[in-house]
């Protein structure tokens, strides 16, 4: 059981490191000066700062950890929704890499599968209800990823250059048109 928690801690440290690199890149390329954080982001950062002030002691520590895991669940939902809405408004996924979505779907599926296999191996299905956030994160990721895949490959699929549909949309640029 301790290995499971050690893996979770290592995963969190890895995510923190990579998120810090991303924030550092935004700061380096002057991304903070271009856009102020939205009101919900400011509220979220304020709530996070207040939660960080509490120390992990006694029975409250697990309550605090559970509260943070539910915050992660909310953040995960909130990080996918704007991209889904942006794709819908633009009616396009051009310029948006689908590779990360395929990897994210794989990670969500494997995480959920691991949880299910652990429960099946121990013949105790309370592991899913005992780790609602892990199950919820995997399912949430997979649901949003399927929606992104449908947007990219079905609803707003890229038009191949050189086709009559691409010429009508102005994708080809008109170099092959004979006047």
Residue 46 lies in a domain: no
| Distance, first Cα to last Cα, the chain | 73
CATH code, 122: 1.20.1280
* Contact call for residues 165 and 172 (beta carbons, < 8 A): no
Residue 160 lies in a domain: yes
Range of the domain at 129: 72-164
CB contact set of 128 (below 8 Å; sequence gap of 6+) = 115, 116, 119, 135
pLDDT value, residue 59: 54
Residue 137 lies in a domain: yes
* Contact call for residues 134 and 119 (beta carbons, < 8 A): no
Query: Tokens 């250059």 identify what position?
Result: 161
Q: What is the total count of domains within the chain?
A: 1
Residue 18 lies in a domain: no
Residue 20 lies in a domain: no
Counting residues of the chain whose pLDDT is more than 70, the rounded percentage is 73
Residue 173 lies in a domain: no
Q: Which tokens sit at 130?
A: 């005992």
* pLDDT 10s digits, 3-22: 666 666 777 788 888 888 88
CA angle 9, 70, 62 (to 5 degrees): 60
Query: Tokens 């949430």 identify what position?
Result: 140
Residue 4 lies in a domain: no
* pLDDT 10s digits, 113-153: 988 998 888 888 887 877 788 888 889 999 999 999 999 99
- Nearest-10 crossing angle of helices 58-90, 39-52: 160
Query: Tokens 């969500």 identify what position?
Result: 108
pTM of the model: 0.63
CB contact set of 158 (below 8 Å; sequence gap of 6+) = 93, 94
């Amino acid at each position: 059981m301790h290995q499971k928690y050690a893996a979770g801690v290592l995963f969190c440290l890895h995510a923190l490191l990579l998120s810090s690199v991303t924030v550092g890149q935004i700061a380096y390329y002057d991304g903070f000066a271009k856009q102020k954080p939205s009101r919900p982001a400011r509220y979220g950062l304020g709530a996070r700062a207040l939660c960080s002030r509490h120390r992990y002691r006694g029975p409250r520590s697990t309550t605090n950890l559970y509260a943070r895991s539910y915050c992660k669940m909310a953040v995960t939902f909130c990080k996918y929704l704007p991209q889904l809405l942006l794709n819908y408004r633009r009616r396009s996924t051009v310029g948006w890499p689908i590779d990360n979505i395929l990897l994210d779907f794989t990670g969500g599926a494997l995480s959920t599968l691991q949880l299910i296999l652990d429960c099946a191996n121990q013949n105790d299905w309370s592991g899913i209800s005992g780790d609602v956030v892990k199950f919820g994160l995997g399912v949430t990721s997979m649901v949003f990823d399927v929606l992104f895949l449908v947007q990219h490959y079905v609803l707003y699929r890229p038009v191949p250059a050189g086709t009559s549909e691409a010429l009508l949309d102005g994708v080809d640029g008109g170099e092959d048109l004979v006047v």
